[in-house]
Each structure stands twice: as C-alpha cells, then as structure tokens.
Amino acid sequence: MRLLTRAALLTLLALGATFLLDPYRNYQLATATGTFVAVAGLTLLVGLTGQLSLGHAVLMAAGGYGYAWAATWVATAVEGTTLADGAGGWLLPLLAGVAGAVVVAGLLGLLLGLAAARLRGPYLAGLTLALVIALPAAASTIPGLNGEQGVRAPFVPVPDPLALLIATEQWHAWLAILVAACAVTPLVAVRAGRAGLRMRAVHDDETAARLAGVDPGRVKAGAFVLSALAAGLGGAVLAIVTQQVSPGAYGLGFSLLLVVAAVVGGLGSLGGAAIGAVLVTLLPWVVDQATAALPADLGHRLQGNLEIALFGVVVIVVTLLRPGGLARLLPAKARSATSLPAKFFPTQ
Amino acid sequence: MERLVFLLSTGLARGAVLALFALSLVIVYRAARVVNFAQAALAVVPVYVAVAVTAATGSYWLGLACALTAGALLGAVVERGLMRRVPQDNPLAGIIVAIGLVMVLQAGLAIAFGPDHRPVHAPFSQRPLTVGGVALMSPYDLFVLLVAAVVMGALAWLFGRTSLGLRMRAAAFAPETSRLLGVRVPRMVTLGWTLSIATAALAALLLVPTGLGLDPHAADVLFVNAFAAAVIGGLDSPVGALAAGLSVGVLASLVTGYASAAAAPPAVLALLTVVLLVRPHGLFAAREARTA
Amino acid sequence: MSALTVEGLTVGYGDGAPVLDGLDLTVPDGGVVALLGANGAGKTTLLRALLGLTPARRGRVLLDGADLTGLPTEDRVRRGLALVPEGRGVVAELTVAENLRLGALWRYAGRKHARPERDAAVGQMYELFEPLARRRAAPGHTLSGGERQMLALARALVARPGVLLLDEPSLGLAPLVVAQLLGVLRDQARATGLTVLLAEQNVTGALSVADRGVVLSLGEVVADRPAADLAADPALRHAYLGF
C-alpha cells in the first residue's frame, strides 16, 4: 500500500537523520517527535471536526502516567525472572508502558469525547480549559499521582547489540520515531479515508450529515478519542525521553503551545503538525541562545517569555491573514489530500 | 456551625467578585457573541496599572480609578484593533486569536514586571469581624460586596433604563435590524467591550489582595470559575451570572473549608461538566426567540 | 427632483451571476410605487442593496440627489431612508414600547427638547395604531403577525423618514389586516409627503394604494406604468404578473 511505503520511507529517513545529530539535538528531536504525535491528533480534531480542545496536555499527561505505571509495574514484575534477559528486560516494560498509555489516555478521551460531542465550540474549549487548570489540584488529591513531584518512568537503556553504535539520546529518538510512525500513519489513513470524510461532513453541516445517515455525536466523540490516543502516545514518548511525568510539565502553557503548533502548521494538516511541533520545540531554545548574551536580569525575564509572546503574535497573524497556516506555503502539498479544500472554510 | 457561617459569608464575598467577572463575560458575549477567552489577561493588565499608580501616589482610590480607565481603554483598543478583524465565518477563529492575545499579554507582563507575585494591599482590614463570637466576613469583604452591588446596579440601570443601554441591547439582539433603525452597531460593540473589560478589571483588582499577589496569571482561575458561573447561569443572562457567581463562590468556599483548597478546582469542574451535559444553555438562559 | 434614483445597480451574491444587472429606477418625490414581480425576481435584493445591507458591485443610489455609495446602513437611515424588512424585524427581546423608542432615538437625540418631542412622536404612533397602544409593555415575541407588522411600520414611521421601503408587508397576514395596514400607509404618505416603495407579491393590494407599478423580472425592470394601467390592462397583467 502506498501509505505504508511512504510511512516506512519517512521513518527510515528520520532514523537515518539521527546519525547526523549530536546527542542534545537528538534529545530535542525526540521531544519534538512526542509533541508532533499529540499535535497531529489535535490538528485533526480541530481541523476536521471543529472541536477545539485547550486541555490536550492533560491527555498527554494521562498517557504519560499510564506509561509510567504500566512500565514500572511490568519492570518490577519481570525483574529477576528469565523474561528480563536480553531484549525482554527493556522491551516488555516498554510495550506494556505504551499499552498503558493508550488505555489511560483512551479512557479519559472517551469520557471527554462523550461530553464534547454534545458541546458547541466555546463550551468545549472552556471545559477543557477548566480541566487543564484543575490538573495540578487533581494531582495532589488523587492518590497514585504523587502530587507535584509526579511519577518516574523506567529508563530504557540502549540494547546491548546496538550499544556500541548509538548513544542513549539517539536510541530514545529512535523509539520516539517508531512510536510516532505507529501513531501518525493511522491518522493519515483516517484523514484520507471515509472516516475523515464523515468528520468533515459533520463539521460542515450536522443536520445534513444526519440526514445522510451519519451520527454526528458518534463521529465527534470518535474523533476526540482518536486525538486522545495520539496525545497519550505523545505523552508516552515524553515519558520515555525524560523518565518523568509531573503535572507541572503538562500545564496550561504547554496545552496552549499544542494549539499554537496546530494553528501555525495549519489546522487539519499533518505535515503542518510536524512543522508546528518543531517550531514549538526549537523556538525556546533559539530564544535562550539569543538572550544568553544579554545582562542576567533581562535575559532571565526574556527566557521562557519571549517565545510565548512571539507564539502569540504568530498565532494571531496566522489566524487573521493566513488561516491555512504554514502548510499552505509548501507548493507541492498545497492542493493535495493533506489540506482541506477551500470550501470547508467558506469566505464571506 | 460557626465554621459554616464563616465559610458562607466569605463565600458570598468571593462569589461577588466571581459574579462581577461573570457579568463582564456576559456583557461581552451579548455585545459580540463571543466567549472572550482573553478576559483574564485583559483584566490583569489594568491591575498592574493600578498597583503602579498606587505605589507612586500612595492612593488606593486613584489606583482603582486608573484601573477602570485602563480597562475601558484596553477593551476599546482590543476590539477596534484586533477583534474586529477576526474572520466571522469560522467560530473557532475568535477563540484562537484570544489565546494568542493571552500569550502576548501574559508574556509581555512577565517580561516587563518579572514573574514574581507582587503583594497588593487591601484598603481595609482582611481580618474577619466577629459578631457575638462568631467570625463573619472582614471589612474588606464587606467593601467588595458593596462595590460589586453598586457596579452591578449601575450596569443594570445603564442597560435597562437609558437610551444608550437600549441601543446596546438592540445591537446585541438584532444587529441588522438595529442598523435599519439608525443605531451605530459597530460603536455599540466597542462600547460593550469597553464596559466588559473595565468590569473585569475591577473584579480582578478586588480579588488580588485576597490571594498570593499579583502576577500575570492572577486572574486565570478567576476566569475559569467565572466562565463556569456564566455558563451555569446562561451566557446571555446577567441575572444568571449574578446567581451562579454567588453560588459558585459559596461552593468553592465550602469545598475549600471542608475538604481542601486543592479540591475546589475539581469541584467547579465537576459542576460545570454536569451543567453542560444537562442544560447546555444554562439555567437562566432566555429562550432564543430571535425570529420576529 | 426624484426622491430616490437608482443607476446601473449590479448586485450579486458571492462569485455567481448577478441578481440585479444594471438596474435603473426612479421613484418620484411623494409618490407611492409598487415594486412587483415573482419570487426570485430580485425585489428583496434591490431593497437590501438600497440600504447597503447587501453590497453592490456597481452602480449608484441617489437619495434626494445625494450619492449614498460607501455609506453604511445606519448612516443611510439617518439621511431619511427607511426599510421595513421581510420578516418585519421586530426585536423579539424588547417590548413594544422599547421597539418604538428605539426607532425614534436617532431622530430625537441630543437637543434640549428631544425627550418630550420623542415621546410626542411615539404617542402619535400609538394613536395611529391603536392595538399597539394596548400592548405597550408586551415583549416582541408575544405579538401576533399583524401586530408585528404594525409595530415594524410604526417603528419606521416614528423617525419621519423621507423615503420608506417595505418588503412584502402583507406576507402571512389576513387580507383584512393587510387592507387596514396599506390604508394607514397610504394616508400617512399623503399626509406627510412620504415617498413609498412597496415590494409585494400581493399585486392587487399593492396596486390599489400605489400611483405607479414597477415590475421586476430576473433582476431587470420590465414594466414601469401607472398603477391603474397595470391593474386594468389584462394583457399587461398576463405578460408580467401572471394573471
């Protein structure tokens, strides 16, 4: 199938690219990849069904916590047994962790999705906003979440056969890329297939869709769950890369950055999601470099804030002037199946 | 029992601030048909102005006046300069632009003033008064209730009894028809934003002395709670905002007092979820009798 | 000088073919002109374009010789042009009294004696439309169709416009009510020198109060005759009005 070939090629390309990067860059690539998976789900959700979630970071956190619990549990369970020898020692917890991420994020996504299907734009946005603001508080009250400190995720060591070839950061980048490939390829298929068509139909005109036999509630909830699964896998990737899941990392700021990444890349565009994720990961680093030369106090104030201000400006400019986002600037992809036809955003 | 009285009375004071902020959301929703997700950030900027003025002149009242003026100005500028240009065909565009605005404002404040919480002093004592041995609300809480009541009364008078208020209501309910009657609808929309942000700024200013201090995110939780209150009351209903604001304030106070402070946001979230699922248009919403 | 002149007006929706293409029309001062034509002929589009609610691609609209091009709707209204729209446009959330007051605001504002003058003008409307006086405090959405039409008309008249446009006022109303309304309209027009352009599908009713009849078909004026001729001549009626 053409899709699988394309996916395989891109994956191999990405894996190969990791050889060209130094360890820190590979770490950045890994985090950007995790963000990319979440943004891909979000951009599909917003772009195709018009449901704006301001709390997708919570779904990532859910995936992260799910990964951490499941991986830790399996790791302690196989410790000392024969399963721990060879690849099993790291592979089993990893797989269990990914499954855990999918389950927890999926469940939360299902709950939210059922609610979301009944709500109009601003109400859903407000509800998800309330959710992300309640997360730190929920983390302190719900046992097992361990409050502010969060939960640790097991470290995935480089397997022995590869230990001489690649370093830890590159290995984690590989894992990130592989998870991303498994997560995003289905999204591409959904987008281009009948499910994607149903989503667009529901977004365009719910009544007409209903008359055509499409259940808007189910489609919207389904889209939400799909995006939640993607976010959960993104959270799992971040857990692998940082070995840590805490509420502070998944706060309002990060949630808004996910939206920024989706908007800047172009809502509905998966290629745009990649651009957005890279931008959101790199810009803070660029700002840090640029402000390093400034006096300490000013530099301190700009770090962490200047990029946010810039993101805000970019989001406003993109929405006012170029709603198609940066993805529309790429000539070859402009009118293919990866971007929405103009009639889905009718102009006055 | 005494605890309950204390929690109820302080809850009312908190609820008054919430009601005021929720009312500001209703005003802008009526005027512009948007839920303004940038309300918190827009409310906090005038508070920084007030604090600066108070620090420079020593007068809380001057700071208050400046906050209102700054809020009004900010509302007008944001509407004419930005919100007017948002494409109307996509309902999410306004929300996304508001988010961008939030990021610019909060980051800008953090760059200009630093991220630390600045303590803000209340003009009256915050120690609770005791009546017959029972702790009630503090003088500051009474002040807050009084200010909120006066402002809400003034807004009710403006909208209900003046020609300007009539024009604003008409422009909100039926913009095209109002234009056919000579009403300058764009101006009424700007005025709505002006009033909304000034009211929100006042609410934020009243809130800040009761918390950790002023920082760019000081009004975020207030926004979420007020949004919940506005939705519960019905985004179209000022009376709903008042009732729901007071109720949510009391609820948060009770939950904080009997459970913990951290349990309050999840409690509000739970309440919001239930209301949205059962009565999405809010408890007090007017019927959408828009076709005549 | 004619009260209302339309020159070469071209109006369309989106990128499609224009609904009105180079339309010319003259409404003489103080006259009552019936604008006739089938559904889709362009009557509503024309009226909306005259008020700037629908943008015109080309052409001009002159009110008492003054060019209205580029003026927003509310400014055109403030120059004395009024429209009672299709569907009446009574603001449902406001009471009858508030609706009327709203209509009078721009005309009676700012000056020292504005308030009493406004109240007097509103009082005049209550005299003219007695059922409205009875239901002063009723919210708009509780009014019957006939009462709404009365309110919409009163609301337009209270500001003493120079030119009044009406879009299908008889729609959905009983014939008796229609006759009553049109009668009031005609009397007011005679009394105040108001110029009226009345778009209607109810041909006989409209022609009975009008001086002239203008027939639109597919966005063009196909007939412009004295009303009596149109009503009396079967051939004309067949050709343009279908009966």
Taking only Cα atoms into account, the Rg of chain B, rounded to an integer number of angstroms, comes to 19
| Residue A292, token pair as written in the block | 């390093």
Q: How far is it, in rounded angstroms, from Cα A313 to Cα C171?
A: 51
Interface test with B, best of C71, C91, C135, C150 (most B CBs within 10 A): C91
Give the residue numbers in B contacting C (CB under 8 Å), as ranges. 163, 166-167, 169-170, 173-174, 176-185, 286, 289-292
Q: What sign for the dihedral angle of Cα B44, B45, B48, B49?
A: negative
Give C197's strand partners. C33, C165
Q: How far is it, in rounded angstroms, from Cα B171 to Cα B173?
A: 6
* Chain C nearest CA to B237, separation (Å): 12
The band of B275, judged by pLDDT with boundaries at 50, 70 and 90, is: confident
B263-267, Cβ contacts within 8 angstroms, sequence gap of 24 or more: B263/A137, B263/A141, B264/A137, B265/A130, B265/A133, B265/A134, B265/A137, B265/A138, B265/B221, B265/B224, B266/A134, B266/A137, B266/A138, B266/A141
Q: Are strands C20-28 and C32-36 parallel, antiparallel or unpaired?
A: unpaired
| Rounded mean pLDDT, A210-218 | 87
Percent residues over pLDDT 90 in chain C: 42
Helices (H), C130-174: 130-134, 145-157
Please calculate the CA angle B62-B202-B275 and round it to the nearest 5 degrees.
175
Asked whether the beta carbons of residue C91 and residue B170 sit closer than 8 angstroms, the reply is yes
Q: How far is it, in rounded angstroms, from Cα A1 to Cα A3?
A: 5
Q: What is the pLDDT of residue B258?
A: 87
CB neighbours of B250 closer than 8 A, spacing ≥ 6? Answer: B7, B8, B11, B12, B15
| Rounded mean pLDDT, A14-22 | 86
Does A119 contact chain B (CB < 8 Å)?
yes
Q: Who among B110, B115, B220 is closest to A133 (CB)?
A: B220
Asked whether the beta carbons of residue B89 and residue A260 sit closer than 8 angstroms, the reply is no
Per-residue pLDDT of chain C (243 residues; tens, 9 = 90+): 578 999 999 998 877 888 898 899 999 888 899 999 887 788 999 999 999 999 899 999 999 989 998 899 999 999 999 999 988 889 999 999 999 999 999 988 877 778 888 999 999 899 888 889 999 999 999 999 889 999 999 999 999 999 999 999 888 888 888 888 888 888 888 888 899 999 988 888 888 889 999 988 888 888 888 988 888 888 777 776 766
- Contact assessment for residue C198 and residue C210, using Cβ atoms and an 8 Å cutoff: yes
CB neighbours of B205 closer than 8 A, spacing ≥ 6? Answer: B46, B47, B50, B63, B64, B67
Enter the pTM of the model.
0.87
Asked whether the beta carbons of residue B170 and residue C94 sit closer than 8 angstroms, the reply is yes
Q: Who among B170, B173, B182 is closest to C77 (CB)?
A: B182
Percent residues over pLDDT 70 in chain B: 97
Give C186's strand partners. none
CB neighbours of B6 closer than 8 A, spacing ≥ 6? Answer: B128, B134, B135, B136, B257
- Above 90 in pLDDT, residue B28? yes
**What domains appear along chain B, each with residue ranges and CATH number?**
2-118+144-278 (1.10.3470)
Report the chain A residue with the minimal C-alpha distance to residue B87.
A320
Q: What is the pLDDT of residue B150?
A: 95
C-alpha distances in Å from residue A170, one per residue of A165, A290, B205, C76, C221:
10, 26, 50, 69, 77
Contacts of A127 in chain B (CB under 8 A): 269, 272-273, 276
The Cβ of residue B187 has, within 10 Å, a number of other Cβ atoms equal to 14
* Chain C nearest CA to B282, separation (Å): 18
Q: What sign for the dihedral angle of Cα C193, C194, C197, C199?
A: negative
DSSP chain B: -HHHHHHHHHHHHHHHHHHHHHHHHHHHHHHHS---TTHHHHHHHHHHHHHHHHHHH--HHHHHHHHHHHHHHHHHHHHHHTGGGS-SS-HHHHHHHHHHHHHHHHHHHHHHH-SSPBP---SS--SPPEETTEE---HHHHHHHHHHHHHHHHHHHHHHHSHHHHHHHHHHH-HHHHHHTT--HHHHHHHHHHHHHHHHHHHHHHHGGGSS-B-TTTTHHHHHHHHHHHHHH-TT-HHHHHHHHHHHHHHHHHHHHHT-GGGHHHHHHHHHHHHHHH-TT-SSPPP-----
A226 φ, ψ (degrees, to nearest 5): -60, -45
Return the H-helix or E-strand segment holding A218. Answer: helix A216-242
Q: How far is it, in rounded angstroms, from Cα B133 to Cα B139?
A: 16
The band of A54, judged by pLDDT with boundaries at 50, 70 and 90, is: very high
| Rounded mean pLDDT, B15-23 | 95
CB neighbours of A210 closer than 8 A, spacing ≥ 6? Answer: A216
> Domain spans of chain A?
2-251
Give C216's strand partners. C221
Q: What is the pLDDT of residue A344?
A: 41
Q: What is the pLDDT of residue B292?
A: 30
The band of B227, judged by pLDDT with boundaries at 50, 70 and 90, is: very high
* Chain B nearest CA to C38, separation (Å): 24
Q: What is the pLDDT of residue A346?
A: 42
Report the chain C residue with the minimal C-alpha distance to residue B287.
C93
Mean pLDDT computed over every residue of chain C? 88
- Contact assessment for residue C166 and residue C150, using Cβ atoms and an 8 Å cutoff: no
Give C198's strand partners. C34, C166
* Residue C187 DSSP one-character state: H
Mean pLDDT computed over every residue of chain B? 89
DSSP C3-44: EEEEEEEEE-STTS--SEEEEEEEEETT-EEEEE--TTSSHH
Q: What is the pLDDT of residue B123?
A: 87
Choice between B36 and B285, residue whose per-residue pLDDT is larger: B36
Q: How far is it, in rounded angstroms, from Cα C100 to Cα A306?
A: 53
Q: What is the pLDDT of residue A341?
A: 43
Choice between B212 and B21, residue whose per-residue pLDDT is larger: B21
Contacts of B89 in chain A (CB under 8 A): 345-348
C-alpha distances in Å from residue B224, one per residue of A19, B12, B29, B282:
46, 18, 15, 16
Q: How far is it, in rounded angstroms, from Cα C52 to Cα B182?
A: 13
* Chain C nearest CA to B152, separation (Å): 21
- Residue type present at position A47: G
Burial A305-318 (b: 16+ CB within 10 A, else e): bbbbbbbbebbbeb
Interface test with A, best of B21, B25, B35, B111 (most A CBs within 10 A): B111
Interface test with B, best of A48, A119, A267, A308 (most B CBs within 10 A): A308
Q: How far is it, in rounded angstroms, from Cα A232 to Cα A42?
A: 11
ipTM at complex level:
0.91
Q: Who among C83, C92, C106 is closest to B292 (CB)?
A: C92
Does C92 contact chain B (CB < 8 Å)?
yes
Does A342 contact chain B (CB < 8 Å)?
no
Q: What is the pLDDT of residue A333?
A: 36
Q: How far is it, in rounded angstroms, from Cα A54 to Cα A231?
A: 13
Return the H-helix or E-strand segment holding C54. Answer: none
Q: What is the pLDDT of residue B259?
A: 85
Asked whether the beta carbons of residue B166 and residue C78 sit closer than 8 angstroms, the reply is no
Contacts of C78 in chain B (CB under 8 A): 182
- Above 60 in pLDDT, residue B152? yes
Asked whether the beta carbons of residue B166 and residue C106 sit closer than 8 angstroms, the reply is no
Q: How far is it, in rounded angstroms, from Cα B100 to Cα B136?
A: 42
| Rounded mean pLDDT, A274-299 | 87
Q: How far is it, in rounded angstroms, from Cα A116 to Cα A202?
A: 14
Strands (E), chain A: 151-152, 244-245
Interface test with C, best of B177, B189, B287, B291 (most C CBs within 10 A): B177
Q: How far is it, in rounded angstroms, from Cα C132 to Cα A163?
A: 90
| Residue A182, token pair as written in the block | 């498994």
- Contact assessment for residue A257 and residue A60, using Cβ atoms and an 8 Å cutoff: no
Q: What is the pLDDT of residue A141?
A: 75
Asked whether the beta carbons of residue A126 and residue B35 sit closer than 8 angstroms, the reply is yes
Q: What sign for the dihedral angle of Cα C114, C119, C122, C123?
A: negative
Asked whether the beta carbons of residue A134 and residue B266 sit closer than 8 angstroms, the reply is yes
- Above 60 in pLDDT, residue B208? yes
Does C90 contact chain B (CB < 8 Å)?
yes
Q: What is the pLDDT of residue C94?
A: 92
Summarised one tens digit per residue, pLDDT across range B50-68 is 999 998 998 899 999 999 9
Q: What is the pLDDT of residue A332?
A: 39
**Chains B, C: CB contacts under 8 A, how many?**
83
| Rounded mean pLDDT, B29-49 | 93
Q: What is the pLDDT of residue B265?
A: 86
* Chain B nearest CA to C46, separation (Å): 15
Q: What is the pLDDT of residue B45?
A: 96
Does A159 contact chain B (CB < 8 Å)?
no
List, as ranges, residues 243-302 from A with C-beta within 8 Å of B.
Answer: 252, 256, 259-260, 263, 301-302
Contacts of A115 in chain B (CB under 8 A): 273, 276-277
Reference A38, options A62, A20, A14; nearest CA is A62
Q: What is the pLDDT of residue B73?
A: 96
* Chain B nearest CA to C220, separation (Å): 25
